Amino acid sequence: MRIDFPLRMVDGLRLKEEYREVLRPGELVRGRDGRLRRLPRWFYEIPNWRVALKTRLSPHFVLWELIDVDVREHVLLRTAWPRYVPCAVTLLAAHLELLRAAVDTYVHVAANGGYRSPRHALATHASTHCWGTAANLYRIGDDDLDDKATITRYHETITRVMPGVYLRPYGAGVGEADDHIHLDLGFTVVVPHGAAGEAKEAPEPASETETAGVGAP
Amino acid sequence: MPSEQARTELQEQVATIGREAGAKAVAVAYFDYETRSEWELDGDRWFHAASTIKVPVLLGVFGAVHREEIALQSRVHVRNRFTSKVGGGPYRIDGDRDANSKVYQHLGQTMKVNELAFHMIVTSSNLATNLLVDLVGVEAIRRSLEELEVTGVDLVRGVEDEAAFREGINNRVTARGMISVLRPIEEGTAYSVELSARMLEILHQQEFRSGIPAGVPDGARVANKTGEISTVAHDAAIVYLPERRKPYVVVVLTEWESGGTGRSDTIARISRAVYRHLTGNGR
């Protein structure tokens, strides 16, 4: 299958101020664990909804599914065009394609379940949704993902085909999910070929202690 | 305007209907635009609101629309997960108990605010109600009700919050309170003539018609909202009669032993009594 990819890459730091205020390219935000994370700088520009509807990121995942948001998103990303999505969304689609192949049925990404801007009302911390690397799934095929047995079964499938993917544990607590599956690729940033180089001076190394394993996204 | 004797007769009729049906409590209130008269029986008695609270919620949602915080076309993520008023734990709407399944079909997707408002009122969807309460917020809805000078309505939480129910923390209404909810909608003063008309249009599409609508002539148009749980059965309505006459607003709230029968029929009989009282027909 031929994948059309008509999107233009843009440097978030060069966008109009109104967009920079919403997308906050390259800014530091704090996670639930208190650690600082740097938001993506490079985005794909989506000129209109028609393009979002027809742009395939992988054989079974179309761009619109990963930018579908509700009234809680900032008004600029609901009512105006163009819109922007971090370049890492292509990696997310590729991973979802692996899951799609393993389950051999539809994988439904929920509204608010793909990219959310840092100004989204649900983005109260450094959520991987703001990196375009997270997906919330409420249904796979005819299975509603709203009970422990079903969620655990699909967790096992996801872990088998994508062992590096983070899965929010089943549960009702903070950082857990009991009515959907949250999977993500961590705070992954994609810098496409053709992107401008980094500044010569390297940033100061982080002083926070690194720990093994993954924390709550 | 109904005479004092007629009012006394209505009071006796309502009491008799309630007693014969075995109701624990009955409260009734009306406001008649034709005669500009009002009347109530235990109009300030508080009842568990059941689904009648959805009309005050509708007012709150349209208040947010009026303030341009949301639009009727705004899309809302449909998710069945809410936070209890007590303890802050999560709870879900029981799909088997909810009156409407169409909203469930959109889980994980979005629905427009006006679609959710429609299902909240017309099919009494609890899921749609909680999504709207979550979106607008209890405090914002309460402020909207205050702005409209609605009294006798105590909205404290979403619906089906069993933990709150067990603690006795419930949405409550009085018969006079529900009159004060419906009057701005009928009079076009709920934010604007246009927004009031939109709310009235939704109420007119009500599917539950076995209460007040069943007590008025077939040609009447009724914009109403029922409410029913194991121990209460209510209906609140604006009644437009086929004859050349202005409408009236009537509210019937009833309380029962759990599992009591004949509740809708009791409301319909009281509705019939109010209709006869106001029009003189069938006396």
Top residue of B70, B83, B107 to mutate, by most chain A CBs within 10 Å, is: B107
For residue B134, the chain A residue with the least C-alpha distance is A72
pLDDT of residue A124: 85
Which residues, in sequence order, are CB contacts of A217 under 8 Å at separation 6+? A31, A127, A128, A134, A166, A168, A175, A182, A184, A186, A187
Set of chain A residues whose Cβ sits within 8 Å of the Cβ of B113: 71
Set of chain B residues whose Cβ sits within 8 Å of the Cβ of A146: 80, 92
Task: Give the number of other Cβ atoms within 10 Å of residue B12's Cβ.
Answer: 11
Task: Give the number of other Cβ atoms within 10 Å of residue B212's Cβ.
Answer: 29
User: Is A43:A9 a contact under the CB 8 Å cutoff?
Assistant: yes
Residue A210 has pLDDT above 60, yes or no: no
User: Is B133:B70 a contact under the CB 8 Å cutoff?
Assistant: no
Rounded average pLDDT per 10-residue block, chain B, 283 residues: 90 97 97 97 98 98 97 97 94 78 92 98 97 98 98 97 95 98 98 98 96 96 96 97 93 92 95 96 63
pLDDT of residue B99: 60
As a whole number of Å, the CA-based R_g of chain B is: 18
Res. A216 pLDDT band, cuts 50 70 90:
very low
Dist. CA A58–CA B112, nearest whole Å: 29
Listed by number, the residues of chain A in 44-83 with a beta carbon closer than 8 Å to a beta carbon of chain B are 68-72, 78
Dist. CA A58–CA A3, nearest whole Å: 7
Do the Cβ atoms of A71 and B113 come within 8 Å? yes
For B131-153, what is each residue's pLDDT tens digit?
999 999 999 999 999 999 999 99
User: Is B201:B186 a contact under the CB 8 Å cutoff?
Assistant: no
Written in H, E and C, the secondary structure of B80-147 is: CCEECCCCCCEECCCCCCCCCCCCHHHCCCEEEHHHHHHHHHHCCCHHHHHHHHHHHCHHHHHHHHHH
Burial of B33 (0-12, 13-18, 19+ CB in 10 A): middle
Q: Cβ of A111 under 8 Å from any chain B Cβ?
A: yes
Q: Which two tokens stand for residue B60?
A: 């709150």
Residue A187 gets which letter from DSSP? S
A111 vs B77, B80, B89: nearest CB: B77
CA A98 remoteness from chain centre: 16
The dihedral region occupied by B21, where left means phi > 0, alpha psi between -120 and 50, and beta the remainder, is alpha
Q: Cβ of A199 under 8 Å from any chain B Cβ?
A: no
Set of chain A residues whose Cβ sits within 8 Å of the Cβ of B93: none
Average pLDDT, chain B: 95
Q: Which two tokens stand for residue B278?
A: 């106001």
pLDDT of residue A212: 42
Tokens 């936070």 -> residue? B83
The pair phi, psi for residue A168, each rounded to 5°, is: -65, 130
Dist. CA B210–CA B101, nearest whole Å: 21
The pair phi, psi for residue B242, each rounded to 5°, is: -65, -30
What ipTM does this complex have?
0.86
Q: Which two tokens stand for residue B177?
A: 């309170």
Please name the amino acid found at residue A54: K
pLDDT of residue B26: 98
For A23-68, what is each residue's pLDDT tens digit?
999 999 999 999 999 999 999 999 999 999 999 999 999 999 999 9
Do the Cβ atoms of A172 and B90 come within 8 Å? yes
Q: Which two tokens stand for residue A184?
A: 């993500």
Half-sphere exposure of B175 (CA within 13 A, CB side): 25
pLDDT of residue B282: 61
What's the sign of the alpha-carbon dihedral A22, A23, A25, A27? positive
Dist. CA B52–CA B42, nearest whole Å: 17
Dist. CA B186–CA B206, nearest whole Å: 16
User: Is A58:A3 a contact under the CB 8 Å cutoff?
Assistant: yes
Which residues, in sequence order, are CB contacts of B163 under 8 Å at separation 6+? B84, B85, B86, B87, B89, B91
> Chains A and B: how many Cβ contacts under 8 Å?
47
CA A29 remoteness from chain centre: 15
Set of chain B residues whose Cβ sits within 8 Å of the Cβ of A178: 81, 90
